[in-house]
A and B are shown apart, each in its own frame.
Chain A
Amino acid sequence: DSGVTQTPKHLITATGQRVTLRCSPRSGDLSVYWYQQSLDQGLQFLIQYYNGEERAKGNILERFSAQQFPDLHSELNLSSLELGDSALYFCASRGGVDTEAFFGQGTRLTVV
């Protein structure tokens, strides 16, 4: 158990819909990262938050948005869903500068 919790574990929804994925980082970790992993693909960096502020952005679509709340949990919002958005979405958290990121178990999103 990495200490990073993601909910839900599985999500099936229709095209055009909107979903929210939730991530609770390890206790005390201020950084939260979001990644998308399509079938047999690498981890695509979406966005990073640090202590409530957006710190870095990757290849995140305009239909996607995220935020980190005062209690440090984070949410990734995906809207106007398309079939190609079907993927595993991982959240990871980090503590200090030279520490590794710990990953949650992911949310498997299926868009039908």
Chain B
Amino acid sequence: GQNIDQPTEMTATEGAIVQINCTYQTSGFNGLFWYQQHAGEAPTFLSYNVLDGLEEKGRFSSFLSRSKGYSYLLLKELQMKDSASYLCAVKDTDKLIFGTGTRLQVFP
């Protein structure tokens, strides 16, 4: 079976740092993606991890531990425009399976 868990909602303050966790149990694993989705819009790619460790990309970083079935997305220096849903997705052989997403609200 496949199970990808993320918190449903999070809130944070502008300028702060927030960490969004994702745990997964899938029959196969070929990489993990993070996407950002504003309401009613298409998801857009943020990061990709296939090996354990941290990948940094500007204000966004993503971490993967394959042995623990765990990833997190770290957002630094939060801006109001970062208010969106953040989707964790696992590539399981040919499938790309998404979690339900974490809705992040950034307050001034």
Number of residues in A with C-beta < 8 Å to the partner?
28
What 1/0 mask marks residues of chain A from 41 to 71 whose CB sits below 8 Å from any chain B CB? 1111100101000011010000000000000
Judged by DSSP, the binding face of A is strand
Cross-interface CB contact of A103 among B44, B95, B101, cutoff 8 Å: B44
Judged by DSSP, the binding face of B is loop
Tell me how many residue pairs across A and B have CB atoms closer than 8 Å. Answer: 56
Bound form: Cα–Cα A71–B42 in Å: 24
What residues on B are CB-neighbors of A43 within 8 Å?
43, 87, 89, 98, 101
B interface residues (Cβ-Cβ under 8 A, vs A): 30-31, 33, 40-45, 48, 50, 87, 89, 93-101
What residues on B are CB-neighbors of A50 within 8 Å?
94
How far is the CB of B76 from the nearest CB of chain A, in Å?
21
Instruction: Indicate if the CB atoms of B96 and A45 lie closer than 8 Å.
Output: yes
* A74 on interface, CB distance cutoff 8 Å: no
Instruction: Indicate if the CB atoms of B42 and A105 lie closer than 8 Å.
Output: yes
Instruction: Indicate if the CB atoms of A2 and B42 lie closer than 8 Å.
Output: yes
Instruction: Indicate if the CB atoms of B42 and A106 lie closer than 8 Å.
Output: yes
Known: A41-B100, A42-B100, A100-B33. 16 other contacts (CB 8 A): A2-B42, A42-B87, A43-B43, A45-B96, A45-B98, A56-B93, A88-B40, A97-B30, A98-B31, A98-B50, A101-B96, A102-B45, A103-B43, A103-B44, A106-B41, A106-B42
What residues on A are CB-neighbors of B94 within 8 Å?
31, 48, 50, 55-56
Instruction: Indicate if the CB atoms of B101 and A42 lie closer than 8 Å.
Output: yes
Cross-interface CB contact of B95 among A58, A97, A106, cutoff 8 Å: A58
Bound form: Cα–Cα A112–B97 in Å: 29
B-facing residues in A3-59 (Cβ within 8 Å): 31, 33, 35, 41-45, 48, 50, 55-56, 58
